């Protein structure tokens, strides 16, 4: 067994224990979930920045409309994910809305994903 497999099994065991004993963890699980959501949002932004820097020349040569759609959809995706999944009681209304409006949340995420895919396809093909 490699180190990665062992670490994955440890994480899986902690996750299963957290689900099984969620009543016992209570506040600690909520805080851990908030930190994990923040970390995932930061990772999403970092990934978008890395991709933008790697392909900045290609993006600069794209037609105006697909480039605008790509940039707006990426920002909308990050904002929707950050505000939808960060669920903390001390935050105002716009945060944590994914639980109450799950269909709208997933429609927005899928719509932004499709817009990013469509605009990236426009660099090589003409629909």
**Predicted local confidence at residue 26, as pLDDT:** 66
Burial class, 34, CB count within 10 angstroms (exposed 0-12 / middle 13-18 / buried 19+): middle
pLDDT attached to residue 25: 60
Q: Per-residue pLDDT for the chain (127 aa), expressed as one digit of tens each?
A: 777 778 778 877 776 765 666 555 666 767 777 777 777 778 888 888 888 899 888 888 888 899 999 999 999 998 888 888 776 666 666 677 777 888 888 899 999 999 999 998 887 666 5
Structure tokens that stand for 21 in this block = 């004993």
Residues sharing a CB contact under 8 Å with residue 86, sequence separation 6 or more, in sequence order? 34, 37, 38, 41, 95, 96
Check residue 88 and give its pLDDT. 60
63 SS3 class: coil
């Amino acid at each position: 067994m490699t180190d990665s497999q062992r670490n994955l099994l440890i994480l899986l065991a902690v996750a299963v224990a957290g689900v099984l004993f969620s009543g016992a963890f209570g506040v600690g699980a909520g805080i851990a979930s908030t930190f994990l959501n923040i970390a995932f949002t930061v990772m999403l932004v970092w990934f978008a920045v890395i991709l933008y820097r790697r392909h900045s020349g290609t993006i600069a040569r794209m037609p105006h409309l697909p480039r605008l759609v790509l940039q707006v959809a990426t920002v909308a995706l990050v904002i929707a994910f950050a505000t939808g999944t960060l669920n903390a009681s001390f935050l105002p209304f716009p945060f944590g809305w994914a639980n109450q409006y799950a269909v709208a949340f997933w429609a927005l995420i899928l719509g932004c994903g499709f817009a990013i895919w469509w605009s990236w396809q426009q660099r090589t093909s003409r629909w």
